[in-house]
Structure 1
Amino acid sequence: MMAAAALPHGHGASPPPASALLGAAFGQHLAGPGAPLGGTRPAAGPQATPRNPPATYAALDLGTNNCRLLIARPAQHGFRVVDAFSRIVRLGEGLAASSRLCDAAMDRAVEALKICRGKMLHRNVSRARLVTTEACRAADNGSDFVRRVAEEAELELEIIDQRTEAALAVSGCAALADPAAEGVIVFDIGGGSTEIIWMGGRNEARDPAARIREWASLPIGVVTVAERYGGVDVSRALFETMVEDCARELKAFAAKAAAASGARNFHLLGTSGTVTTVAGIHLGLARYDRREVDGLWMRQDDILAVIDRLVEMDYAARAANACIGRERADLVLAGCAIFEAIRRAFPSERVRIADRGLREGILLRMMHEDRAWRRR
């Protein structure tokens, strides 16, 4: 079940206004004075309250690299995005070396979160879930940062665990799995970690999270891999070393999920800036367009062709590409190395591309919990 509008994309460009997707919450809300975003606003009086006020949901995902917000309302076949925000903040910059979030990264994130708070207030969000993932999980000062956000941005962030992150990502993109597939490997390449899941077929359960057979959160993401090897000058030999390193991190999960590849109509389902970038380049888009990318099926030869092109490009060429941009030019090959390691571990002729994931999963779960569609 998905929204009828386009989803924003984290490629460095401003997200589309009032026509993207997502939002949700399980008890997380705005801190400080005023009505909290995590609950129902009290009525100002009988005349001030509409008879059936539309519920407005927000989902915020503060990751190692990006801060993303989606605000949506239930629609007939899912939900309609009414506002969105995306900014690269690189919260996890230098984290692998210091085990701490640095001041500059926290400053960038707080400023982005203040913008998100303003958008949620402007849209009268009635329920929100605001999550943060690997950077805050791994940082020694992650909890201190959450407290700072509560004080300065007046938002309450929830540091979610790895299992929750994986389940939400699956819930958000499972609708794109082939209905005939009895086994799918779903992966979400993030900034600080990669969530990978072996999901069973639709005949096993209606809830995608209930179909998870195996899952893992790998300590490899586009930021961590790029910081380890460098992302500006990447030779073919260095790229292959990156792939081999990622394959080692993947080995234990690959052994547990080895049977997935033998399932009927098996395929890969990828959600992340990396896979959507590969898709956009494959399509030759002059500017990234989520409507062209989300749900696209790609063949392995097409994926390899794009990765080969990216390896041959220098940094300037990557930065000039409209589907990559300057802010991600030093990260895209790290993401491709993770993607290639997954493809080699789970060979599949086809890969489905998803420009949806964790935030969509949050929205759908909140709306389902609220029985939002039954009230319409």
Structure 2
Amino acid sequence: MKRVAAIDCGTNSIRLLVADIDPATGELHELDRRMTIVRLGQDVDRTGRLAPDALERTFAACREYAKAIKDLGVPGGDRPALRFVATSASRDASNREDFVRGVREILGVEPEVITGDEEAALSFAGATRELTAHEGHGSGVPASAGEQDSGGPDTGLGAPYLVVDIGGGSTEFVVGDREVHAARSVNIGCVRMTERHFTDASGRVPEPGTPTAGQIAAIRADVESALDEVEQTVPLRPADGGDYTLVGLAGSVTTVAAIALGLSAYDSAAIHHSRVSFDEVREITDRLLHSTHAERAAIPVMHPGRVDVIGAGALVLRTLMERAGAREVVVSEHDILDGIAFAVAERAGA
């Protein structure tokens, strides 16, 4: 087993995974997994720059993560077993060198500002490694949040997969089985859509925080346009008329799943590989979009950093499922962060 650390810095959150991994078998033993909402992408869509206070929030989280990495004995030196991957917001910012320099000083590694295609491939690897390992032996994926699985341990889920990672600034779409066949990244993340359509001149979501019908329609139009772009590269329905296993990643999807499951507190184990039907996604999206800020904040599983952006994120998921004809989404707590960790372990074993 190789001890590694992975950091995924996105538009809305920064996350850490420290794990022992066997690259040969794909076994992953998690030691520490944490997430901090830093909103690095604050106003990037409007200004094209990373805001000073957003950078400082991110650097504060990096200092906490550096201590955890050291305390857990992750190897350092000339070839540290740590990889820091930065995604949409830092790709788009004109002052991203300020971000790179700060991360390097705190963590001792160069942050990799990866392309959308690289992000998609890492997300796919992290999300499907367990699923492909179960193919032919029953997927081990539990029944829908609103149903019981009457088919025994073999749920019939398997390749091909459509993996969708709804981030803060962008959303990645990947089709594949044991490897990626096609991928596309488009700028329809939950933070970007909220800032573009739900905020006032000051950049804040005005009270009571309930979007108008016109604002909701504007987001749907953006998402539909982005899906047109996606379908130039990634088919959202299989050419043979069959079905994909739709696998949904990231906080918007996991929060919708937690609501569907009726959890009184966020429970990663219950959420991981749960299945949420399209009808549940549609009902929850409508509820989120027509509730006030206070009502969303009162939902037990709602992270404070997602209260203003969850409606847009859920709407991205709902619109995608409509376009793809998906009857349900399999929710994964394993995503790009796990893909990064596997890549570090494989590099260390080379």
**Could you tell me the TM-score, scaled by structure 2's length?**
0.82
SS in 2 for 1:56: strand
Taking a change above 3 Å as real, the CA distance of residues 145 and 321 of structure 1, as seen in their structure-2 partners, is same
Task: Tell me how far 1:236 sits from its aligned partner.
Answer: 4.4
Residue of structure 1 equivalent to 2:210: 233
Q: Note if contact 2:131-2:158 (Cα within 8 Å) is conserved in structure 1.
A: no
Residue of structure 1 equivalent to 2:184: 216
CA deviations 1:87-144 (Å, max 9, x no partner) are: 1001110111110001110011111101111111111102111111111111001123
Residue of structure 1 equivalent to 2:144: none
Aligned with 1:270 (options 237, 248, 253): 248
Q: Which amino acid aligns with 1:331?
A: V
Residue of structure 2 equivalent to 1:20: none
2:9 pairs with 1:62: yes
Distance 1:258 1:94 in 2: 30
Taking a change above 3 Å as real, the CA distance of residues 287 and 120 of structure 1, as seen in their structure-2 partners, is same
Residue of structure 1 equivalent to 2:299: 321
Distance 1:102 1:131 in 2: 19
Distance 1:260 1:252 in 2: 17
Q: Note if contact 1:110-1:153 (Cα within 8 Å) is conserved in structure 2.
A: no
Q: Which amino acid aligns with 2:303?
A: G
Distance 1:258 1:281 in 2: 26
Residue of structure 1 equivalent to 2:343: 365
Distance 2:237 2:277 in 1: 21
SS in 1 for 2:231: helix
Residue of structure 2 equivalent to 1:163: 117
SS in 2 for 1:260: coil
SS in 2 for 1:186: strand
Distance 2:187 2:26 in 1: 36
**Which runs of 5 or more structure 2 residues have no equivalent in the other structure?**
76-80, 136-156, 199-204
Taking a change above 3 Å as real, the CA distance of residues 195 and 77 of structure 1, as seen in their structure-2 partners, is closer
Q: Which amino acid aligns with 1:81?
A: E
2:234 pairs with 1:285: no
Distance 1:72 1:239 in 2: 40
Distance 2:280 2:298 in 1: 21
Task: Tell me how far 1:252 sits from its aligned partner.
Answer: 2.0
Aligned with 1:130 (options 69, 84, 92): 84
Q: Which amino acid aligns with 2:19?
A: A
Q: Which amino acid aligns with 1:239?
A: I
* Segment drifting more, 212-221 vs 63-72: 212-221
CA deviations 1:301-329 (Å, max 9, x no partner) are: 12212212222321101011122132211
Distance 2:239 2:284 in 1: 23
Q: Note if contact 2:237-2:325 (Cα within 8 Å) is conserved in structure 1.
A: no
2:26 pairs with 1:71: no
Q: Note if contact 1:244-1:341 (Cα within 8 Å) is conserved in structure 2.
A: no
Q: Note if contact 2:277-2:329 (Cα within 8 Å) is conserved in structure 1.
A: yes
Distance 2:236 2:311 in 1: 26
2:97 pairs with 1:143: yes
Distance 2:112 2:237 in 1: 35
Q: Which amino acid aligns with 1:59?
A: A
- Alignment coverage as a number of residue pairs: 310
* Segment drifting more, 180-189 vs 363-372: 363-372
SS in 2 for 1:269: strand
Distance 2:88 2:217 in 1: 25
Task: Tell me how far 1:189 sits from its aligned partner.
Answer: 0.6
Aligned with 2:169 (options 187, 192, 199): 192
* Segment drifting more, 175-184 vs 75-84: 175-184
Q: Which amino acid aligns with 2:20?
A: R
Identical residues among aligned pairs (%): 29
